[in-house]
Structure 1
């Protein structure tokens, strides 16, 4: 069916005839920097445009001149000017709505995270918003967005996973500034391995991404920008401690070496060495941990050649289980139950960009990455080990059809090599994946309308040729109203154990009934963004709906047999519906609010019949309020998260004492933080899970972990209660 939809949409594309237009650029009055995403429109009309990434716009002229032109941008005063002619380009300078000290520029920590300029439905989380919450890693950086849910895998390991559009994070493509990373066996740790203070910005894109970055984006993309090495020489220091004896420290040093070369060093360390059992089930609420993260990046910025080279290393050891567990005394003896994880990863990546000397619109980009991941873990007396060696190369050539054309294209080739060696209990698994591929993408862009159509063809040595068509459209119904739509296919290679590590923390017998096949799905989405004035202040409303349907999926079945964990390929349907609405506003100067509601339902055909996917709440809501004092000295932030009930796996086959309800309870989680800026220092204090909600009976038969009823994977809420924390940040800048 989808191929016919693609054909019909392709036939229906129209290319408006060019008319006389007004050209111009919108800049910051003080810094002279361009302002992407500014709204430019003729007064008393529906004709408008959005500035591009360089702050430039092209606006269809009105029939009669002179006419009033209005320019607006979040955080800036509106500008109104009378246009008498369209012959010469305009340069429009906007003034910030907040008067700042001439030598002190503070980061934006406002509520606004959505832009009209993006081709795809993207939510932006900048460094200021990231600092609204505590340090310390990327998985803890989504507290102020409802687009991504971060949940515990189980009640023992402390590993986390994300969910987007109601589906697990393995269907989301993670990007290191455009390079795919944190995939395969790295899903064991997920975003826990990325320190939050290293990050400058995050872009969350819902739905399939473009074809340029690969085929694994099935429900979304999370692109992470790390602190850049160029600019002024800067030292960032961040230290954090909480009431559960968790200690973390991060340091970043950026150094421009000359006009073209720059480098940056990143360090992160964490330790958690206190055994805590707040819910009195005999198990540690969070694991004991020790870890070190290191990264070094180099950047070269020439006139026509740009390049980067990055090396990243991560190692961590975790121990969890019963309070009295000691590896030397208990492992293999059936006394105290324990969990252990040793995780090591090395990544080396490079980027090269070659700009055309004759044509500014032409460029050639090359990216490459090699990673080595080693996982060594045990659950009770069962051992899981895995080693992955991966290499990826991607090239792309971008150009307009002609120098001033509205039509452009990007084409390239791609190669992926993956080698897996895994053992679980007494079974060994290995596979080698070789995937060459090619792609082409076409873009038509006008001030009000953008259309992107791409096609990938990848030959997988195990799964055969995979064709991935994708389309994206954006139309500005009015200058401040943007409609987006997307449709596309993606696929990935499943990793039964690494993708679902937390479900191994039980006494269930693991059975892989079939050789896993490639997981593939179609994703369709539509969104509407409207910006407006509320009480004389800027506000934005966004609503979106996404539907994902799988052609094949590796099904994880905990319902058919309470004593077994079954893996098998989908035989039937697996569908996910996700609806979300957000409103963001600055209600008074310095006070921003954000309110989100999400409804999602995911259904899968199991052996026992169609059921809702367990542990996915149907209803989810978020309310965030943040206050910034006039001089930027105080930041006060509070967030309330609501999690509705979700279906729990069937335990009716257990003895009555070890049966749980069919649905979880709903609950709220409240977090708050206060930050005080003292010159180069920031001191912050906060609390998480202020209401002290703890999931009841998170572990089934916790008193008998080596018995047949033990299961710690039925987790839907926190297990470690209220937590207080404090930290300090220091930024030292040495201007050029």
Structure 2
């Protein structure tokens, strides 16, 4: 706690320094320009709603005016460090960590506040289109080109999203075909040979509807082994994503849109000499993954006096994978329907809805086998209903009361209440407090990649019960006026208590993963803070830091969560030159995190402090062109020994006491950061409005 108090003291001194610096350098400036409108900020911000509307810095981030603390990040924010997909881009958000779960094929998930990826609900246009199987294999297939903005709620979300959003919600809002440019293109490459191409064209645009077609292609085919362990440092990837969205113009501005997307990927990681004919054999080790995925989703506002919205989505995901000679063949189909009703009654904004979700999942693992060993696909329909009242009590207080009821085929009735309060004592301070419960049914084989590598045997000790949690979040947003500018300070505290938490025991036996319900309890708690500038001065900055303590406690023993560093953060500094050049310096830093070691492991149990630093220079032209380039991983950091016994991937010589006195087995789960060292990138964008 002493270290934590020192951090807050340092933050206060840093804020004071910024205020003094700004006062000295810019005391004569009376106005700024936001979205091409010249405004005197202090005079115009007469109430909190005005401040919320313009809390959009050149980083393109804002806070929604809601009792639930939600941050909105535009596509421009992620262009500070351009990457080919959402999975890599999301690392720029404080408290959010894309975690690589395999040092060979580089699949992973997204952690919020230290909780594993399965605790985060990922939505596209507000719908649960990202199924559990695709949270492992499909996140890298969501290109930035189809994204208009991303809304992130850290911690448990409102009752509308459902009880399974224990860790938070990432809502990816796709581009509106009515407002999208007529044509846009983005081509990026790097010194290691990767190629990323995004092309979008408005194929139809008339008075009734518009249609946007977007194609993303990514290719990386170079086998690079800089650490000389005879394994590819980065998985080879060949993937394509085709996206088509239709938006309709209707009377009284009623909503109507639908979208289709197809995604295919051929991914490989393994020994340098692996060839396609070695797929599935025990001659040469390779992890080869073919992914086929189709998505359909849309929204339609009924032509009625009452505001009724119908949301629908369907996705089909086919997985054809080999981890050495261990096959993993899986299929998942998810249908989602929800009818929403919304009405404003005085100071009450009422929302209600009914939903139906049908989930079909089948694979070749013990996860879908019955007691006699026969294959039994999982079919789990869930019917739900929710009620929510957002009550604006007065100018300073807003209360949200929510309740959701779900009926699960196996676990029967699930109740999820939600309470949130927003307090605005003045235009420059906002306090948010939320409380609720969570519920989650686990599918081990789609959520824990370690169960699929073939390097460990999976043992399920009992019939697993669903996880339950109690959670609360406290958020404080402060806007510090500096002449005609603002410095934003955002502080968030979070706490979650879990019963029946399902854990994987990696420690008892090095060749096994043993799953059971925790007889004790688990806790995720911590605090995050972020400071950013809100002005149009040439220099902009954003700095975030998170402290968290994520652990499980059983019979007095406290065990830290794997891959959950107690300290982490992000930094983002931009400078705008007069000749349309801009410079962006971005990065993330992480403190020691516990790693899945084996008994008598020669590798340290905790990772070192490290940072992944990037720098980019961009030049914009008046004719719609934009050229950018830079350096990633500027300090050339890569983890050491991410693969145990890479020279014996099939464990043929494990029992050789002379060469293997500690009985180590092949293991790929130790990696905690990308194996790509320092590298350069160069790209060009073009847009026709």
* TM-score, length-scaled by structure 1: 0.82
Shift of 1:29: 10
Task: Look up the match of 2:382.
Answer: 435
Relative to structure 1, the CA distance from residue 635 to residue 30 in structure 2 (aligned partners, 3 Å threshold; closer, same or farther) is closer
* Aligned counterparts, 1:164-563, within 5 A: 164-231=112-179, 234-255=182-203, 257-304=205-252, 305-329=254-278, 331-332=280-281, 334-354=282-302, 357=305, 362-401=306-345, 405-424=346-365, 428=375, 430-445=377-392, 446-502=394-450, 504-505=452-453, 507-534=455-482, 537-563=485-511
Relative to structure 1, the CA distance from residue 629 to residue 231 in structure 2 (aligned partners, 3 Å threshold; closer, same or farther) is same
Relative to structure 1, the CA distance from residue 646 to residue 373 in structure 2 (aligned partners, 3 Å threshold; closer, same or farther) is same
Question: In 2, distance between residues paired with 1:121 and 1:306?
Answer: 26
Contact 2:280 2:322 in 1 (8 A): no
Contact 1:620 1:642 in 2 (8 A): yes
Shift of 1:638: 0.6
Question: In 1, distance between residues paired with 2:103 and 2:113?
Answer: 24
Task: Look up the match of 1:727.
Answer: 683
Contact 1:411 1:440 in 2 (8 A): yes
Say whether residues 1:705 and 2:661 are aligned partners.
Answer: no
Task: Identify the match of residue 618 of structure 2 among 664, 675, 693.
Answer: 675
Task: Identify the match of residue 635 of structure 1 among 567, 570, 582.
Answer: 582
Question: In 2, distance between residues paired with 1:232 and 1:664?
Answer: 44
Task: Look up the match of 1:8.
Answer: none
Shift of 1:50: 1.4
Contact 1:149 1:164 in 2 (8 A): yes
Question: Which consecutive residues of structure 1, in runs of 5 or more, have no partner in the other structure?
Answer: 1-27, 43-47, 56-72, 76-107
What RMSD in Å do the two structures reach over aligned CA positions?
Answer: 2.6
Relative to structure 1, the CA distance from residue 391 to residue 457 in structure 2 (aligned partners, 3 Å threshold; closer, same or farther) is same
Task: Look up the match of 1:660.
Answer: 603
Task: Look up the match of 1:690.
Answer: 634
Question: In 1, distance between residues paired with 2:233 and 2:43?
Answer: 50
Say whether residues 1:646 and 2:593 are aligned partners.
Answer: yes
Contact 1:618 1:646 in 2 (8 A): yes
Relative to structure 1, the CA distance from residue 525 to residue 680 in structure 2 (aligned partners, 3 Å threshold; closer, same or farther) is same
Question: In 2, distance between residues paired with 1:634 and 1:29?
Answer: 19
Relative to structure 1, the CA distance from residue 437 to residue 536 in structure 2 (aligned partners, 3 Å threshold; closer, same or farther) is closer
Task: Look up the match of 1:59.
Answer: none
Shift of 1:199: 1.1
Task: Identify the match of residue 602 of structure 1 among 546, 550, 573.
Answer: 550
Question: In 2, distance between residues paired with 1:372 and 1:673?
Answer: 38
Shift of 1:380: 1.1
Q: Deviations over 1:368-404 (max 9, x none)?
A: 1111111111111111111111111111111123xxx
Question: In 1, distance between residues paired with 2:336 and 2:470?
Answer: 24
Q: Deviations over 1:585-605 (max 9, x none)?
A: 258812111111111111124
Contact 2:328 2:452 in 1 (8 A): no
Shift of 1:119: 3.0
Partner secondary structure for residue 528 of structure 1: strand
Question: Which consecutive residues of structure 2, in runs of 5 or more, have no partner in the other structure?
Answer: 1-31, 655-664
Question: In 1, distance between residues paired with 2:327 and 2:87?
Answer: 26
Shift of 1:34: 14
Shift of 1:639: 1.7
Question: In 2, distance between residues paired with 1:297 and 1:453?
Answer: 34
Shift of 1:283: 0.3
* Aligned counterparts, 1:156-167, within 5 A: 156-167=104-115
Partner secondary structure for residue 339 of structure 1: strand
Relative to structure 1, the CA distance from residue 406 to residue 260 in structure 2 (aligned partners, 3 Å threshold; closer, same or farther) is same
Partner secondary structure for residue 716 of structure 1: coil
Shift of 1:157: 0.9
Question: In 2, distance between residues paired with 1:526 and 1:726?
Answer: 41
Shift of 1:39: 9.0
Question: In 1, distance between residues paired with 2:449 and 2:456?
Answer: 13
Contact 1:207 1:486 in 2 (8 A): no
Shift of 1:503: 5.1
Q: Would you say how many aligned residue pairs link Structure 1 and Structure 2?
A: 636
Shift of 1:635: 1.9
Say whether residues 1:717 and 2:673 are aligned partners.
Answer: yes
Task: Look up the match of 1:81.
Answer: none
Q: Deviations over 1:405-458 (max 9, x none)?
A: 102311111111111111138974521101111111111014322111111111
Question: In 1, distance between residues paired with 2:316 and 2:485?
Answer: 50
Q: Deviations over 1:276-320 (max 9, x none)?
A: 101111100111111110111111121144211111111101111
Relative to structure 1, the CA distance from residue 238 to residue 606 in structure 2 (aligned partners, 3 Å threshold; closer, same or farther) is farther
Question: In 2, distance between residues paired with 1:139 and 1:220?
Answer: 16
Task: Look up the match of 1:16.
Answer: none
Question: In 1, distance between residues paired with 2:450 and 2:222?
Answer: 22
Contact 1:233 1:255 in 2 (8 A): no
More helix by share: 2
Contact 1:40 1:50 in 2 (8 A): no
Question: In 2, distance between residues paired with 1:475 and 1:148?
Answer: 26
Contact 2:618 2:629 in 1 (8 A): yes
Contact 2:55 2:63 in 1 (8 A): no
* TM-score, length-scaled by structure 2: 0.87
